[in-house]
Each structure stands twice: as structure tokens, then as C-alpha cells.
Structure 1
């Protein structure tokens, strides 16, 4: 071993002597390494930086669906109507969609509005006003207090909490109206406005989504409290199969809105919305207002 070590030392001495006055091979090798490290960004011993796509992903805003169940003759309903109608106007349909659903034969209710309320509540306590913010995510039955300001604050706080939650799905839809109302039923004078709604649901989360369904509503608007945006047609649920990340589900609805008079379309503005709801938790994941 000592003999081998001496040979190596002697070899190093020979290399040094033979390269005196010139750069030795090891020195050149070290110099090249330093040069390559400095070249990309001008800093010694700093790893090179590779170009990356720094564009932020598409931002999908959360839209909150607020369902207010009311009935004519309810003494406390006007307070809830006033507060939520004011909030809906302030936020706009890009953030909050308000639907007023009448109950129990008050003249503005439908079979669908009564059935939807029963589906949400089940055997729990029933009564109006009853507010569902994104389905059963938040239920506010009755009034929080006697004053309007207190109820306004209570509703606003619940809505703001939902607006901060990132959506799991992206929802889009378009509507195609039939050019003319079509006769329907035994009465020839009874006419129906047919609207076709088509859209997609996309999973924008990183997890599988299940137990979901897409639904929609058509509501009418009148210039009086309680009829700001009252539901007239609720579509049946369309079940969504297990939805993988980045996968989409296509849906299609056909709505039929009765026109009692020829000038109904001028008197009452129609509103069209769709939403995705979990059938087990009854929470609404996302809503969309169709322009």
C-alpha cells in the first residue's frame, strides 16, 4: 500500500512539473464547472432556473343560491322578503340568486315548490319564512329578531360565508326559446312558452364527486314584494354519474311556462337558473344564472 501511495504522489508531482506555467487538467475541469454554474443567472453555485408557466388557473366564482319559502298571509314573511330582495339586488346574479317559492295553496305556489320544500325539510319543523342558503348548507327558519336591520345582517353574514367557499364544479348553460308559444291542453287559447336549456357541469376539484344532480328553475318577476323572483317551474333532477376531476357532464331541460294572457311576457320578466345539488346532504355546490 505504501508503495502504491508513493507512485500516486510521484505521478501527481510529475503532472504538476509537466504543466508548470500552464493550467493543469484538474484546474481546467474545476474552472469549467464554475463557468457552467455562473452562466445561466450570473450567481456562483446557484441552480439554473427553468422557464415555467406562471399563469394562474381560471378563477371560477362561487354563486350562492338563496331559496326563500313563503306564503301569502304570513305576518313575518314581508321582513324576510324585504331583506333578501335587497341583498339580491345589491350582490347581483353573478354572486347571489334569489328564488322565492310559495307554499300551501296561496295562489302563487306550484306542485313543484311544495314538493321541493317537503324534500328539504322532511319530518323537521315546517313554517314560513324559511330560508335555505345553498340548500341545507344553511337553514334560517323564522326571523332572527324583530328588527329589519338585524335580519338583514344575519342573512348577509350567512351569504358572505358561502361566497368565500371555493366551488367544486363549474356550471354553464344557455337557453334557446321557441319562436312562438305552442297551444297545449284542452283549451286552445292556453299557450305555453317553450324554453330549451342546455349546459355542462365540470369537476374543477382534485377529488371524485358523487351523489350529485343538476336541477333548474324558471321564475317570474313582478314589481311587488314576495314576487321579486317567484318560482313557476322546477325541473326534475338529472343524476350525475361519478364525476372525475376535469370531467364534464352534459344536461338538457325543456321548460314550459304557461302564458295566461298574450301580454304576459311584457308584464313579467322570466329568470332561468340551474344548480348542482348533492342528493344526500342536500347542499347546493354551485348555481348559475342564464342570461
Structure 2
């Protein structure tokens, strides 16, 4: 994706199914079409886990794709084994726990990739992850084609850094949706001094620094939410996820780079 794109307009719809829980500057929106409709891939990882670097490298590659919104959530449950992950947040551990409860899994693990909030895979299994992304993309296409007015999420950022999020169109499925804004950094290089990755230089991309619920119970129709710059952490950009809090399914999403 091009880092100088100021606005990304994403129009797409998640298939009903299993899974869980801006503006002064001139903007020129781009519309994602066809197979470019982005699928959300969340990697749950830790700098304290020696199995995670291959998954982090894969996520960095996925972040370059037009059809993927890639987010790297660092969890805190490996901090005790020698290296405290500087990006870990207990809230991200809880987000992973909610997903795994929905998946019927009794525990969290790393590296885990969650695709559109409905499927998951070991994050280092490239072929399996890419297959799940392809399946999710096809499901989005089929579901969108069945909608009379597919939902749209638009993001725009002012010169001062404030964000405007605009939603419109029909609700993608029954029930209310939460609107979540996720701020992320561009890239980090960390020299790990202790723990399983001692002596390694770890490279992390799209590291999530903040996640905040903007609105609850969106059921379709027009909605505009303004987000002050100080409420968004991260120097890389942000993503907006429209997510069913009961099932975790991500019905649609948008992304903008800073």
C-alpha cells in the first residue's frame, strides 16, 4: 500500500457466520474494488516467544497487500519468562481470549492469526493463512453481491491529525455492531537482551498501540464519528473495524496511513 494515501474508502461486507467480539484537509478517496476488498488479519504475538518471528515476518508481508489490513497485537502472558515486551497490553491479551472462547479453544497461544474475526490459524503457517485470506475474500464478494446497498466505511484525516469516520449503507447482518479504531506504528526494530529471543534483532510492523470503541449498536444507515488526534496512538496509521461484539465477526473495515 502507498504510505502517502490520505484517504482510503473501503466498501465491503462480511458473510454472516461464526466468529465474535475527521476534517480540514482536502482528501481524495480511493475505492477498493473486486479482490482488493480488504480482509482483516490480526496477529497475536510476543517478543518473548521464539516461535513468533516467522509469523511477524509474514504479517509484514501481508501488510503490503492491497487486499489485507494487517494488525500486530502484542500480548503480555510471556513477559514473565525473561523479556518484557514493550508493546504488550493486557487489553490485547483479553481480545485474544475473547476470540478463542468464540472458537471453542480453552487457551491463548502465540503466534496466532485471526482472519476477519471468524477463523484462526498458527501465524507461521504461510499456506494455511493465505488460504484463509482467500476464502474470506471470496465470502466477502458473494455476500456483498447479495446486498442492495452494501455498507461503506470511509476514513479521512485532517492536517491537524483528527480523524473522521463515516459509515453508510445497510447493516451487514442482524444485531448491532461496535465501531473500533485501532492505531498502529509503522515499524520497530528491537534488540532483545533476555528471554527466548536473546541476542536477536526483532522487526515488527503495524504494531498496535491503541484500540478504542467509538460507537456501539450501529445497525446500518449514516453515521459520522469525529476522533481527536490525541485519542489515536501510533505513527503509522489506523484501522477502523466494524465488529459484531457477540460473535467477533468483522463485517467491514477501513485503513488510513499517516
Q: Is TM more than 0.5 here?
A: yes
1:96 is matched with 68
- Which residue, out of 114, 117, 142, partners 1:132? 114
Q: Check the 8 A contact 1:233/1:255 in 2, yes or no.
A: no
* SS of aligned partner of 1:235: strand
Q: Check the 8 A contact 1:220/1:227 in 2, yes or no.
A: no
Give the number of equivalent residue pairs: 195
Task: Indicate yes or no: 2:200 matched with 1:240.
Answer: no
* SS of aligned partner of 1:109: coil
Q: Deviations over 1:200-247 (max 9, x none)?
A: 122257x7642211111110122545521100111125113432xxx2
Q: Distance in 1 between matches of 2:39 and 2:74?
A: 20
Structure 1 unmatched ranges of 5 or more: 1-57, 144-150, 179-194, 260-267
1:285 is matched with 251
Task: Indicate yes or no: 2:94 matched with 1:115.
Answer: yes
1:40 is matched with none
Q: Check the 8 A contact 2:45/2:74 in 1, yes or no.
A: yes
* SS of aligned partner of 1:163: helix
2:182 is matched with 217
**Residues 255/70 of structure 1: CA separation in 2 closer, same or farther (3 Å cut):** farther
**Residues 79/200 of structure 1: CA separation in 2 closer, same or farther (3 Å cut):** same
Task: Indicate yes or no: 2:33 matched with 1:69.
Answer: no
Q: Give the TM-score, by structure 1 length.
A: 0.59
* SS of aligned partner of 1:119: helix
2:151 is matched with 169
- Which residue, out of 115, 119, 129, partners 1:155? 129
Q: Check the 8 A contact 1:102/1:113 in 2, yes or no.
A: yes
Q: Check the 8 A contact 2:60/2:204 in 1, yes or no.
A: no
Structure 2 unmatched ranges of 5 or more: 1-31, 80-84, 145-149, 190-201
Which 4+ runs in 1 deviate beyond 6 A?
none
The structure whose RCO (Cα within 8 Å, separation 6+) is larger is 2
* SS of aligned partner of 2:166: strand
**Residues 276/241 of structure 1: CA separation in 2 closer, same or farther (3 Å cut):** closer
Relative to its length, the structure with more helix (as a share) is 1
Q: Check the 8 A contact 1:84/1:152 in 2, yes or no.
A: no
